[in-house]
A and B are shown apart, each in its own frame.
Chain A
Amino acid sequence: MERISHSRIKIIFLVTTVILIVLSLLSYLRIKNLVDTGKLVNHTQEVKLELEGIVAELTEAESSLRGYIISKDSTFLNAYYTYMANTDRRINKVTALTADNPLQQQSLIALRKTVHKKMEYMDRILDTAAVSTISQPQMLGGRALMNNVHKQTEAMEKEEQRLLEHRSELLTKEAFITPMFTIFLIVGAIIILVAAYIKITQELKISDRLKADVEKRTAELELAYGALQQKNEELLTMNKELESFAYISSHDLQEPLRKIQTFANRIMTSESQNLTDKAKSYFLRIEDAANRMQTLIADLLAYSRTSTSERNFESIDLNKILEDVKKDFEEIITEKNAVIETGEMCHATVIPFQFHQLMHNIIGNSLKFSNPGIPSHIIVTSRKINATEVKSPQSIPGNKYCHISIADNGIGFEPEYKDYIFELFKRLHDKAKIEGTGIGLTIVKKIIENHNGIITAKGELNKGAIFDIYIPVSGVNL
């Protein structure tokens, strides 16, 4: 919408500019026409003046000649030569003035011939006058020539006048058309300018309204942002309170539980001879339930510690962590005849105790969910890869990742449970068959999140499970 109106305004101004340029050109031409008309009139005047001058000079020369013949006064003779020279000069001038007009040039050749004949005739009379007297007919013989000169100059003057009239007429016609066109253009320009003014005012109004809208919205957003920030802070405080609540409550829960365990245990050891078998079985059940609750609380504590404890990242050889985890399970490994195969492990920047917990939980699961009758075989591999190789939309492009894969040959799980198993308290097996609180993998997930990493699980029932972990290597010097 705005783009379109911008280009519209551009077009309006372009058209107006073009019209103004045309108008300036036209008025220039108009002025030039006027000047040209004046020049033409002057030119014609000049040509006419010169032509009349030729006749006048010749007439003067003839009078001077007569005067000399009668009085023999040399001043007349001098005047005669001057007029004769002037006549020639004027003919040359007319030749120059009418150089652009072939018709006049042709007439001029004829005129020059006649004038020269007349001049030769007068020179001859002057020569004769030196030796004898001049007869009347001799004197009058030049008149016919003079009449010819008259006729020819008049014809040329007429031609010049005709030309002037023709040119003036053309110019007048132009002078009439130009103002009409000019007026037309001016009116057009005014209409366009008015239209442009209206359009621009409209656009400005819209723009003003939009600006006000934006300002209003910005203010609203700022308000909302402030509220959001406050809510965020509240949420952060609440989260902290909740975390410490989870920690303290699970910690305090242990105290009465410990007493239940101790007293139940005390009865079973020192008072069992006084109990019936039924009572003994009940006490065993109490012990069993209390033990389960103990594990649950311990796991919950571990879970809340993954978010409350300090996060000190260290660049560490993951092999070391794996060795420690293997030591944790030494007894079970021997007892179950399990094999844990580890290859070269990468260096990565991790929170060491959390990463230990993570590997402990995953490998512990593999050992726990082993296929009955088949010794556990766990393969841990790791290699450095680029973000593009990470099969997850959460990977950050450009990052290097350490890909750790933990595969086992245990009872696995049905593929549709691949996300379910990471949820808090979610379990796939009956408590009576396989112990567990459903917290272990939630802790794993939380730790991975603390490391900005990604974890995925693949499983096939009775064939095994594979956990793929991707953690950013960043900050590691190699």
Chain B
Amino acid sequence: MHTGHPKNIFLADDDADDRLIFKEALKELNVKTALTIITDGVELMSVLDITVPPPPDVVFLDLNMPRKDGMECLREMRHIQKLKNIPVVIFSTSDHPGTIEKTYKLGATYFICKPRSFELLKKAIETILSFDSSLLTRQPSKEEYFLKIA
């Protein structure tokens, strides 16, 4: 899906390696994007507060972050009117059923377990970016919530 203006993507992750790989993967995808990189939860909330509107097209949110973790950010976003409808894709090392369940209840849009190969990561990002904006703003069923990349 190629629209005129680039997709506005936020990535909140405290891990420098993961940020690097994410950036490289995004670069290799044939999609026009503008990436904003944020390194912790407190920063994410303040950046969102300053830049919105316009809202980002999607926020990739790591869960395990210092100062304010992803879970906390998600909860806050869903309680702030102007951030409520921003698609949030959880991007975590964990695939623990309890964590998946909890983030679904808090209103995250998709859940991706950080892949172990570069190719799979590219595929995961591509899948998310291929979704129509109407598909991203709506929470899917529980079965579809956890995105399986293979």
Q: A251-B94, A254-B93, A262-B21 are in contact. Are A269 and B116 (CB under 8 A)?
A: no
Q: Does B119 contact A (CB under 8 A)?
A: yes
Give CA–CA (A263, B94) in the complex, Å: 19
B116 interface neighbour in A251, A265, A270, Cβ under 8 Å:
A265
Q: Does B51 contact A (CB under 8 A)?
A: no
Of chain A, the residue at the smallest CB distance from B117 is A265
Of chain A, the residue at the smallest CB distance from B24 is A266
Q: A258-B114, A259-B17, A262-B21 are in contact. Are A251 and B119 (CB under 8 A)?
A: no
Give CA–CA (A262, B117) in the complex, Å: 5
Give CA–CA (A258, B18) in the complex, Å: 10
- Least Cβ distance of A287 to chain B in Å? 10
Of chain B, the residue at the smallest CB distance from A251 is B94
Residues of B within 8 A of A255 (CB): 15, 93
Give CA–CA (A255, B114) in the complex, Å: 9
- Least Cβ distance of A298 to chain B in Å? 10
Asked if A251 and B117 make an inter-chain contact with CB atoms under 8 angstroms apart, the answer reads: no
Of chain A, the residue at the smallest CB distance from B116 is A261
Q: Does A178 contact B (CB under 8 A)?
A: no
Give CA–CA (A294, B116) in the complex, Å: 10
Of chain B, the residue at the smallest CB distance from A247 is B96
Asked if A262 and B116 make an inter-chain contact with CB atoms under 8 angstroms apart, the answer reads: yes
Q: How many residues of A contact B (CB 8 A)?
A: 13
- Least Cβ distance of B90 to chain A in Å? 15
- Least Cβ distance of A292 to chain B in Å? 13
Chain A positions 220-260 with a Cβ under 8 Å from a chain B Cβ:
251, 254-255, 258-259
A258 interface neighbour in B24, B116, B119, Cβ under 8 Å:
B116
Residues of B within 8 A of A254 (CB): 93
Asked if A262 and B121 make an inter-chain contact with CB atoms under 8 angstroms apart, the answer reads: yes
Q: Does B118 contact A (CB under 8 A)?
A: yes
Contact pattern, B 14-57, Cβ under 8 Å of A = 1, otherwise 0: 01011001001000000000000000000000000000000000
- Given contacts A251-B93, A261-B116, A265-B119, list 11 more A-B pairs with CB under 8 A: A251-B96, A255-B15, A258-B93, A258-B114, A259-B18, A261-B117, A262-B118, A262-B121, A266-B118, A269-B119, A270-B118
List the interface of chain B (C-beta within 8 A of A): 15, 17-18, 21, 24, 93-94, 96, 114-119, 121
Q: List 21 A-B contacts (CB under 8 A).
A: A251-B93, A251-B94, A251-B96, A254-B93, A255-B15, A255-B93, A258-B114, A258-B116, A259-B17, A259-B18, A261-B116, A261-B117, A262-B21, A262-B115, A262-B116, A262-B118, A265-B117, A266-B21, A266-B24, A266-B118, A294-B116
Q: Which 7 A-B pairs have the closest CB atoms?
A: A261-B116, A265-B117, A266-B118, A255-B93, A259-B17, A258-B116, A254-B93
